Amino acid sequence: MSAKSESECELCEAARFTHWYSADDTCWVADCDACSTPMVVWNSHGVEPSAEQIDHMVTMLEDAATARFGSGEFTIDRHMRQMPWHFHAHARHPEWLTRRWTEPVSRYTGVGGTRSTASTLT
Ligand SMILES: [Zn+2]
Ligand SMILES: [Zn+2]
């Protein structure tokens, strides 16, 4: 897979379709639209954030995943399968693949707040 430039990168685009848990100057945390799992994305196009930035991003992701799944009910997955050109990480629940197909996807309703899905919105 060849690297994509910033202008064609889905992570730089940061389209807001799913629930956004948080966002700041370094990163944003939202449900991944491919696997419906909380994902942190670095604000910069590239794969070499500093150690401090990685710590910060993992903490943001853990906060979101703890709110969604509960403490210790997930693992941080930093393997970048789909988009290896832009730093991101997933917090995966052990049943994420099943949940991906059985639970409704979340909807964007603003950064933070309650996570809404198609079935909870009227
Ligand atoms: Zn994903
Ligand atoms: Zn990018």
Q: Which candidate, 17, 5, 98, 51, places its Cα nearest to that of 39? A: 17
Nearest ligand to the CA atom of 84: 2
- pLDDT, residue 118, reads 75
Nearest ligand to the CA atom of 40: 1
Nearest ligand to the CA atom of 35: 1
**23 in helix, strand or coil?**
strand
Nearest ligand to the CA atom of 79: 1
Residue with tokens 């639970």: 103
Residue with tokens 């685009």: 13
Q: Which candidate, 4, 1, 7, 14, places its Cα nearest to that of 47? A: 4
- Cα of 105 vs centre of ligand 1, distance in Å, is 12
Tokens of 107: 């909807």
- Cα of 46 vs centre of ligand 2, distance in Å, is 6
pLDDT, tens digit, for every residue of 39-65? 999 999 999 999 999 999 999 999 999
Full set of structural domains in the chain with CATH: 17-111 (3.30.428.10)
pTM of the complete model: 0.93
